[in-house]
Amino acid sequence: MGKKVILGLSGGVDSSVAIIELLKQGYEVEGMFMRNWDSATNNDILGNPDLNDDVCPQERDFQDAEKVAEECGIKLHRIDFIGEYWDNVFTYFLNEYKKGRTPNPDIMCNKYIKFDAFLKEAERLGADYIAMGHYARVKHYPDHSILLRGVDSNKDQTYFLCMLRQDQLKHSLFPVGDLTKKEVREIALENNLATAKKKDSTGICFIGERNFKKFLQNYLPAKPGNMVTLDGKVVARHDGLMYYTIGQRKGLGIGGSNEYNNDAWFVLGKNLKKNELIVGQGIDNPYLYSDHCFAEDCNFIYDIPREDKVYQAKFRYRQSDINVKVKLLPDNKMEVIYLEPVRAVTPGQAVVLYDGEICLGGAIITDVYMKEEKRLY
């Protein structure tokens, strides 16, 4: 029998096919389903689109995971990380919104749950490795491991893995990272897996698809205020700064006016002190562009970036690569200088660095500048 792998089996098609790939490679495979959110006790029912369904989405996912585990002949464990998720992911999520930033909980979920709490539980069960259904690749060397982009560039998920540490990565496998999504679907169909035609999940990590506004209202009080132009003219009211993100167009509700043309309105920034949402017209409004940003909580998986080299960066998932230079600063911070201005770089999101196919790691964006002018983001 090969080395033992415990796979995060989510009830989705990607992790289902990961079982097939691991078994092909000769591993001894067991699955583990993570329950990280308790809808019954966390009073989020207003944001749950499946309110009238007899079975909640999380329980349906577990049932699908059970079917796939049985089809593949592997043992399935079920584990609760509700406390860990609340303390390390959801609390962070809420605190970032209080700061007026736009967080990425999936990144923290990977850092603290899938590759930390999960890894510890898997090691307790005797695993040599853990595996996840992410579209990413890992190369293990005797003294270190490196994270590589997934083969399917449209599905590559290394952006969400940028906060992994070396001790986490060296125990990790990504069985579908060498496959395209199309190939994953084909393998699932060939093996008659219960999840072969299941749609991909979206929404907040482990919380799922919800009416985001209603969901957030359960945890943070809304503070309505004015929508203002850059020169301070009030054009509408906002429902609370936390509901908007930089570059957003939908849901602003700004009516027609003789004073302005018919160009679309976008969120240009936020003034937290005045509780004002700054808006302006035009998808390419100059205020949306910046040429450098600062970031904190830097995490470099193996290689540390050099100041004399050009790297590639992503400021959000699925963004095209941006050529940048990096300046490391004290207190685990860095400055990222873009070789060309970039639209809607947003505090709270991650800037993730690449050296070709290698994901170097990332940091959380704090401040955004155009030349010497700090954007009110």
More confident residue, 222 or 340: 340
State the chain's mean pLDDT as an integer: 92
Q: Which of 4-8, 36-40, 68-72 has the lowest mean pLDDT?
A: 36-40
**Predicted confidence band of residue 217 (pLDDT cuts 50, 70, 90):** confident
**Predicted confidence band of residue 153 (pLDDT cuts 50, 70, 90):** very high
- CA–CA gap between residue 317 and residue 159 (Å, rounded): 6
Q: Residue 202: what pLDDT?
A: 64
Whether 168 shows a pLDDT value over 80: the answer reads yes
**Predicted confidence band of residue 203 (pLDDT cuts 50, 70, 90):** low
**Predicted confidence band of residue 2 (pLDDT cuts 50, 70, 90):** confident
Q: Which of 254-258, 261-265, 305-309 has the lowest mean pLDDT?
A: 254-258
Phi, psi for residue 80 in degrees, rounded to 5: -100, 125
- CA–CA gap between residue 340 and residue 254 (Å, rounded): 31
205 is an active site residue: yes
298 is an active site residue: no
Q: Under a CB-based contact definition with an 8 Å cutoff, are residues 121 and 32 in contact?
A: yes
Instruction: Tell me the whole-structure pTM to 2 decimals.
Output: 0.92
Question: Residues 183-204: what's their mean pLDDT?
Answer: 90
Q: Residue 233: what pLDDT?
A: 96
**Predicted confidence band of residue 325 (pLDDT cuts 50, 70, 90):** very high
Q: Residue 215: what pLDDT?
A: 81
Burial class (CB in 10 A: 0-12, 13-18, 19+), 50: middle
Rg (CA), the chain: 22
Q: Which of 162, 205, 293, 359 is catalytic?
A: 205
- CA–CA gap between residue 165 and residue 362 (Å, rounded): 11
Q: Which of 11-20, 78-87, 178-187, 208-217 has the lowest mean pLDDT?
A: 208-217
**Predicted confidence band of residue 55 (pLDDT cuts 50, 70, 90):** low
Enumerate residues 6+ apart whose C-beta is below 8 A from 211: 46, 47, 49
Residue of 297, 363, 286, 268 lying closest to 324 (CA atoms) = 363
185: amino acid identity, one letter? R
Q: Which of 109, 162, 293, 298 is catalytic?
A: 109
The token duo for 19 is 């079982």
